[in-house]
């Protein structure tokens, strides 16, 4: 059986079906492997192909609370809104660098398309 992934003009996956009932707003369709996680794909209109969504993560989850040690996340959309403990911050260059002067656990969320949503906790010790 053939599975077809359908994408809208923004590259968002509309669905994966095993029958060819093309959604009205689909601009691209492509065969995908059975069991493919539909949330991991997007259509890149520039490249003209389906690619995996970016899945950024921090280079470390524990840093010293010295105001200098950094936890870094790269490959974010430009610009991108990142939420840290409920407060929104804009990242304009695709790289988030966090330093902390106060020990604690800090919750970081990135939910902006096209990245796979990221929910991570950084501990400053």
Q: List, for residues 60-102, the tens digit of each pLDDT value.
A: 999 999 999 999 999 999 999 999 999 999 999 999 999 999 9
- Expressed in angstroms, the distance from the first to the final Cα of the chain is 53
Predicted local confidence at residue 26, as pLDDT: 59
If you search the block for the tokens 């949503």, which residue do you land on? 117
pTM for the model stands at: 0.71
Query: Cβ atoms within 10 A of the Cβ of 66, count?
Result: 11
Q: List, for residues 11-62, the tens digit of each pLDDT value.
A: 787 777 665 555 555 556 666 677 777 678 777 777 777 888 888 999 999 9
Predicted local confidence at residue 25, as pLDDT: 58
Predicted local confidence at residue 5, as pLDDT: 76
Sketch out the chain's domains with CATH numbers. Answer: 3-52 (no CATH), 62-124 (2.60.40)
Predicted local confidence at residue 107, as pLDDT: 97
- Nearest CA to 52 out of 95, 120, 114, 9 is that of 114
47 contacts: CB under 8 Å, gap ≥ 6: none
What burial class does residue 96 get, using C-beta atoms within 10 Å of its C-beta: 0-12 exposed, 13-18 middle, 19+ buried?
A: buried
């Amino acid at each position: 059986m053939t599975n077809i992934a359908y994408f809208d003009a923004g590259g968002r996956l509309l669905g994966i079906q095993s029958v060819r009932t093309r959604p009205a707003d689909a601009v691209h369709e492509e065969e995908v492997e059975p069991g493919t996680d539909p949330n991991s794909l997007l259509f890149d209109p520039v490249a003209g192909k389906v690619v995996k969504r970016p899945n950024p993560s921090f280079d470390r989850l524990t840093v010293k609370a010295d105001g200098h040690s950094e936890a870094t996340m790269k490959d974010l959309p430009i610009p991108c809104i990142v939420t840290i403990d409920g407060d929104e911050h804009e990242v304009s260059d695709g790289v988030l660098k966090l330093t902390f002067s106060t020990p604690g656990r800090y919750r970081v969320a990135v939910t902006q398309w096209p990245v796979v949503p990221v929910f991570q906790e950084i501990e400053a010790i």
